[in-house]
Structure 1
Amino acid sequence: MNLTLWIAAGLLAAVALAGGITKTFVPGHKLAESPGGGWTAHASIGFVKTLGIIEILAAAGLILPAVLDIAPVLVPVTAVCWVLLMIGAIVTHLRNAEAEFIVLNLAYLALAVFVAWGRLGPESFTG
């Protein structure tokens, strides 16, 4: 179970890092033209870049606290925050009728719930 939780957290961290780097460093007009990025045309560039930075921090928060053994409780806390972020992403993609991205967001949400449950419960770092 511990290995499965590490893999799930690693996958989420990779997704968060890729999305965060994209939102932070790709120009707004290119994001709006990319698949799933249509919502960025209706959002301020500051908001999109802030989301990107939050996603980069989430990537770090899903891995580094446990690896460095510094406040490892931040791993499940980050996973819970990722759940909230995915709920927002689902709502956004629903508004833009982008069903394929809703399915992806649901998968990421499920992984985050699994990590949060596992790290707060049976495979807690403090146990």
Structure 2
Amino acid sequence: MSTTALETATPGRALRIGLWIAQILICFVFTSAGLVKLLTPIPQLAAMMPWTGEHSEAFVRVIGLIDLAGGIGILMPALTRILPRLTVLAALGCTVLQVIAIGFHVSRGEAAVTPLNLVLLALALFVLWGRGRNAPIAPRQF
């Protein structure tokens, strides 16, 4: 293999590895957050996340479902190669969710949460860009 071919192949491989790492991290964080919001009793949840005690239980549970769907959607379609374009849509959804979450938390003066939201926003944008244009996953052929 020539040096030129190796240099050309390396960025693509590094990009794909970076995308998988980002997808796994987003999946872990969103799935965990979703399960916590879905399964934890509201009084207990309000002790961890004060905003959950100030909104209806239905609202909190719906946010939990959205988190869970984003976490599963960012990884499983790409991993199984079944409708992998759904990963791009999940990345878009995670991006929008983080923009809204940042605005929500900043409006409440919860600046301690925004660094995590910014990291998740950056990861979601990276997956959106990478899986949408630069390293899309081919669908499985049945």
Decide: shared fold, TM above 0.5. Answer: yes
Q: Which residue of 1 aligns with 2:107?
A: 95
CA distance in 1, matches of 2:28, 2:99: 19
Give 1:126 shift: 3.9
Matched, 1:80 2:89: no
- Assess if the C-alpha contact under 8 Å between 1:23 and 1:51 holds in 2: yes
Which ranges in structure 1 are unaligned for 5 or more consecutive residues? none
TM-score between the two structures when normalised by the length of structure 2: 0.84
Q: Which residue of 2 aligns with 1:66?
A: 78
Deviation at 1:54, TM superposition (A): 1.5
Q: Does 1:6 align with 2:3?
A: no
Contact 1:39 1:92 in 2 (8 A): no
C-alpha distance in 2 between matches for 1:116 and 1:76: 5
Q: Distance in 2 between matches of 1:44 and 1:91?
A: 19
Across the aligned residues of Structure 1 and Structure 2, the Cα RMSD in angstroms comes to 1.3
SS state of the match for residue 70, structure 1? coil
2:54 and 2:96 mapped to 1: Cα distance? 21
Q: How far apart are residue 95 of structure 1 and its match?
A: 2.0
| Residue 112 of structure 2 is aligned to residue 112 of structure 1 | no
Aligned counterparts of 2:50 and 2:75: Cα–Cα separation in 1: 30
Higher relative contact order, chain-length normalized (CA < 8 Å, sep 6+): 1
- CA deviations 1:20-65 (Å, max 9, x no partner) are 010000111111111xx11112211001101111111111111111
The answer for unaligned runs of 5 or more in structure 2 is 1-14
Letter aligned with residue 96 of structure 1:
R
- In the TM superposition, structure 1's runs of 4+ consecutive aligned residues that sit over 4 Å from their partners are none
Tell me which amino acid in the other structure corresponds to 1:46: A
User: Aligned residues, how many?
Assistant: 125
Choose 1 or 2 for highest CA Rg.
Answer: 2
User: Hey, what's the Cα distance between the residues in 2 that align with 1:40 and 1:96?
Assistant: 13
